[in-house]
Structure 1
Amino acid sequence: MPIEDSVKVLYIEDDYSARILLKKILTRPPFLYFEAADGMEGMKVALQQHPQLIIMDIDLPDIRGDELATKIKHTNELKGVVIVALTALKEEDAKEKILIAGCAGFITKPIDVQKFPGQLLQFLEGKKEVVESERREIVHQEYEKSIVEHLTQKVKELEIFNKKLESTSQRLKEHGQSLENVLGILSSLQTCTNPVAFKKIIVDEICQRFQFDRGAFIEVDSESMTMQIKYARGMMQEEWEKYRFPVETPFIYKYFEDNNVLLVRNLSQIEDTKLRGLLENFKTNQFIFAYLGTPISQYQSSSSRERILPLLESFMPSLVNQEDLDIEVIINNLEEYLSSESLYRAGFIFLDNYQSKTNLISGGEYRFLETLIRTASYMYQNLTLMEQLRFLFVKAEKEAITDSLTELYNYRYFLLQLNREVSRAQRHKSVFSLIMIDIDFFKNYNDAYGHQAGDLILRRIAQAMLENTRNSDMVCRYGGEEFCIICPELTKEDAKKTAEKLRQMVQTLELPKIKSLPTENLTISSGIASFPDDGSNAYQLILNADKALYKAKESGRNQVCVIN
């Protein structure tokens, strides 16, 4: 990128002395210096200041350097930023992973104070270190594997946390029946593998063991900002599905400022007339309303660590006092998860005795219920966090093999599958064909209508190819306006028929006409190579399919050619 009069530089490093050194070096023009002590703070500063250059240490306290680089490069506002890793690591594989993750290059510690500004300017001017082509695929796979292993480790750490909860049960048995109820419910909740099962079990178990006539699990829909019952016991589904109550943040703050459990012995305690009317229609006079989250006053008045430690100490004092890496990781996960948005990801539990009219709960049982709700809050949040990790894992896996524009398989996955198809065909002594397709005069279309319209055309043609090929065929975006189709068990003649069908189909698509094109319609040219006649490996097949495509282009375009 061209060097501007002033260059914003962000340095992400947890070593204070290192930050002091770079601040002295980079306070002279053209640099404007910013710094952050960890990865999450660095992301925040980057989104605020939009630096042209980010220098970061690979070994950060809260996130791995390669993960942070990938996160930055996948953030729309920061896609164009140049990232340079500053590291003392000597291992080549670690440096390669940093490059795969999105860094333009790295500078080895200790730095040369005189040369350092010039090195940064070189990267800003376009210098980019790359992984050797023969190792790129291997390093990419190793990096993806490390990401998956890291996510898996996070899930395991959460599972370890739940297992440690079991170790506390022995100390609670002496407290009698009420405490036995708490343990029974917790034991059942620990078998839950997803939030849906958790909602049903916690409502059913509390109603049964604490003898409530009615119970409901309620969530806040963040879009409509209404409280909605997701599961209920003691009422018909068509009855509880009709109840909706608009809610605002101050409402929740008011009722759960100091604790997780609200005990209402008379509806006169409810100041909101609309809510009181809803409860009267609900035929309840006294009820318990519990919040599966952090009490608001604790959340607002304390640091992240101070918010979490008291909750852990209330049920697991022995664990919190340990110098234990596992508990530290769990606390860090909870610190990140318990953001302000978690207020609406938390659950609420409603309990009452509208039929028997008996007193809701004694003072002793109330304290045990509070303990249960506090502990269940973490278990529920752990489950939702694991759901999120699973979602991110699936998403990352899909994005690694998918072209983001057309949603076809990408070039990297195409090469992988082509090599697999060659191996499969060799084992079974079968044939397959490779079709390479290029959109004719696509540059003219881009020049006439712009890149956004061009992207739309790429998506439409990609979708049309998917709809007009077999389920067993693999349609991929090769790059730019080129596509490839791997056709298992398809001879060269049959592949030519498929390519001709696609050519005619594209020609008849209702697309804007362009006077600068010979036919005023977008057309495609195709080249075909087949295994084993035209190549015994992926490289030869791509080469020959490309030659056939070149022949189609040279012969006037809008046609299908095979390699001789």
Structure 2
Amino acid sequence: MSARVLVVDDIELNARYLEILLCRDYYDVVHATSGPGALEILSDTSIDIVLLDVMMPGMDGFEVCRQIKSTPGTTHVPVVMVTTLGAPEDRVTGLQAGADDFLTKPVNEVALMARVRSLVRLKHLTDEIRLRAETSAELGVDQGSMTISDGDALDGNILIAEEPGFSLDLLQKTLAPDHRLTVVTNGDQVAATAGDGGFDLAILSFDLPDTDGLALCGQLRSMARTRQMPILIMVEGFQEEMLIKGLDIGVNDYLMRPIEPNELSARVRTQIKRTRYAQRLRDSYQKSIALAITDPLTGLYNRRYLSSHLKKEIESAGKSEKPLSLAMMDVDFFKEVNDTHGHDVGDEVLTQVADRITKNLRGIDLACRFGGEEFVIVMPDTEGAFAYQVVDRLRRQMADDPFVVSTDEGVLHLTASFGVTQLGGGGDNGDDMLKRADTALYEAKDNGRNRVVPLLA
């Protein structure tokens, strides 16, 4: 796995030891001997993970971690503290500072490298989502706030899989004040419950009776509904080999028994923050997709989407031997609306036209803004004669119901003209259908407007 690791340690021998381990697995290693030096490297170099000592002169590792996690450009970079400090309160301080893990020297080499692999995989996934979100920003999508605060770690929806007893009581007592908990007590319930719940985090015991913890984690990673859900496992000290395998198959974090409540809280907060950060990035990307295929004024699909969709509908109609019809519509004398009342009133009219089109269509029909005041309606499984009836009903509504607009009179009386066609045989395609509908539309306009003209292949 190609990745760049920043090792931060003021003792050359310690840094060299980590560098040898990392280079053995083909990681690119960068070294900093101080906190400010590490922050400078992070500001202008792409780093995939930071291995951070705590006890350094000047700025200690806790403060370095806080600054990394509070800076928008580096908040997503995983940080593993590797230190001689081993007291529970030190672990909690590190995790509360934002560290993704806290390992005490001398470290288990196999466990360390498994943790690095796990966090680098997560970083690469996050980088991909961030790149898509940046593309969204370039397209003009409102990103909202991408900053993660302490409040983002609260009110998590958490699934707990643990046997009844002291450990479960501790989990509930520690987490219930700040989160919503769902508890299952056997492995058979986990996958079904997780798939239905929309959870921010799953906390799984590896000691559930008659349950293979690794297989269960693999199952959750293979299900579409739970693939992105963070998994935190609880293991005994003698289960280190299972822990390492778990990290390699996609487990996000772990707790060693006996569970320390403050460490539990800190690790849960870290996972929920990361989940919500990733979700914000994904939401931004989805907005960009919507922006690419919809018309921002009317909310209808745009011409780009129509081209792709119509091609698929024609292929489907050919395979199923079912009819397909298409109508093109134009608002009559729309230029006069803009010239007389201004483009804002024109936009009000177009928005209401789109609303009327939508309300007159079935769920399988597709309405698109083709450009300006022109709209296209695609009607699958519809004969031309029935399509004529549908759009003629829409034409009558356009003519009979005034448009409510921001003018002195408050309303405008407008009409629309339509051209209708049906998919023909012999290689008839989308461009052919659009050309026929356009020809029929202009015939409707030439014959006095406010009418529907059919034109078959």
Question: TM-score interval w.r.t. the shorter chain?
Answer: 0.3 to 0.5
Instruction: Tell me the TM-score normalized by structure 2.
Output: 0.46
Instruction: Tell me the TM-score normalized by structure 1.
Output: 0.38
